[in-house]
Copies of this chain bind each other. A is one copy, B any other.
Amino acid sequence: MANLELMRRLTIGHTTKIVLLIMDGLGGLPLTPDGPTELEAAHRPNLNRLAAEGCLGLSVPVALGVSPGSGPAHLALFGYDPIQYDIGRGVLEAFGIGVPVGARDVAARGNFCTVDQAGNISNRRAGRIKSEEAAPIVARLAQIKVPGVEIEVQPVKEYRFVVVFRGEGLAPDIDETDPQRTGVPPMLALARAPGAKRTAELVNAWIAQARQVLASEPRANALTLRGFSSDPNLPKFREVYKLRASCTAVYPMYKGVSQLVGMDVQHFEGDRPDDQFAHLKKVWKDYDFFFVHVKPTDSRGEDGDFDGKVKVIEAVDAALPALIELKPDVLIVTGDHSTPAKLRAHSWHPVPLLLWAPGTAMPDGCPEFGERACMGGGLGRFPATDLMPLALGHALRLERYGA
């Protein structure tokens, strides 16, 4: 029986509260074999205290050796097999900015890029133009009409936008148009399945007009489309886990994936962990499960900024007392995947994980929270999809299996 089915069968209502605090890309690597990782280098008295009282482990997002994207990595943390539920970036980004995507609509994530006079990409992100500069360009793209389909175009952030195609007989099996390198032109949309041929033609008709609209732009004079996808109709947290779930995230994609599993996305002032924890206090009585997403650990990792990533972790640690004061029954601190500054990219390394549940956890005697402490942690190494059952178990929200 898949995890979700077992959970649907065993979950019971309860008053216990679970917090899942994700530092995106938390896992790291030491710069020298005997040096510390980013997490190990951070001054983290609160995390270490939770580690000493709780238990540690390592979570495997998708499979050993496989580096996950943020979408599948979060789905796994939420208990959904990321290989069974293969969800495109288009629908994640669209949900993230509040643009509805139905099961028969097709959404794509767009990137502005710069092409040279020969039409070859010279900058894959249009020099990371600002949101203010991108907004009016997106507004002009939104005017494009293609017969037979309704099209919504909305800005996301900086050089990123979303396109949603709505109409009869659409299908999302379309290859991305981003060649993933410079020196070559953006590609046309290509159907991966016969049923998506007409959709690809409509997309290409839109691209042809978009090229004319963008031709006079100095930087955002071309675009690429990725992650063609429809609403996957995922089972929802309320139904599967009997949890009223809340998402406190700053970045659209994480709001998107939370909405796909039925979480309420919170609106709050500010964008720091303190702001997120302050908001949690306000809605504490309204929910059972609180997903809190911290992005900059991943961003600093991708920048190769070891010290910067350390500082982000230290800021989270410093803010933690406000969260602990809320007295969650289960508090889990982990990442969705590793992003070692050394590699400047998402990686496959299992992710350090801390589970603190004063009433129910087995303290494993690890005195600090770090990758190497987690290797010897009491939870061992386990698939990320087992985290929700662990959380629910420690929250006494699962009934006995069998008599």
Contact = CB atoms under 8 A, between A and B. Distances in A.
B386 A63 contact: yes
A38 to B, nearest CB: 12
Contact of A64 (B53, B65, B345, B390): B390
B66 A348 contact: no
A314 interface: no
A151 interface: no
Given A66-B6, A82-B401, A403-B226, A378 B389 contact: no
A343 to B, nearest CB: 7
A62 interface: yes
A30 B388 CA distance: 24
Contacts of A376: 375-376
Interface stretch (A68-76, A132-140, A205-213): A68-76
Taken together, the copies of this chain in the complex come to 2
Contacts of A392: 65
Given A65-B393, A393-B66, A362 B349 contact: yes
A360 interface: yes
A305 B34 CA distance: 37
Interface in A46-101: 52-53, 58, 62-73, 82-83, 86-89, 92
A1 to B, nearest CB: 5
A147 interface: no
A33 B6 contact: no
A346 B400 contact: yes
Interface stretch (A195-203, A289-297, A319-327, A363-371): A363-371
Contacts of A389: 63-66
Contact of A88 (B345, B363, B382, B403): B403
A3 B372 contact: no
A394 B65 contact: yes
Interface string A11-49: 000000000000000000110011000000000000000
Contacts of A403: 69-71, 88-89, 92, 109, 226-227
A92 B403 CA distance: 10
B227 A362 contact: no
A398 interface: yes
A381 interface: yes
A218 interface: no
A87 B394 CA distance: 26
Contacts of A73: 402
Contacts of A67: 393, 398-401
A107 interface: no
A70 to B, nearest CB: 7
Contacts of A265: none
Interface of A: 1, 3, 6, 10, 29-30, 33-34, 52-53, 58, 62-73, 82-83, 86-89, 92, 109, 226-227, 343, 345-349, 360, 362-365, 371-372, 375-378, 380-382, 386, 388-394, 398-403
16 contacts: A3-B63, A6-B63, A6-B66, A30-B362, A34-B363, A58-B380, A63-B389, A65-B391, A65-B392, A67-B398, A72-B401, A89-B403, A365-B372, A375-B380, A376-B376, A380-B381
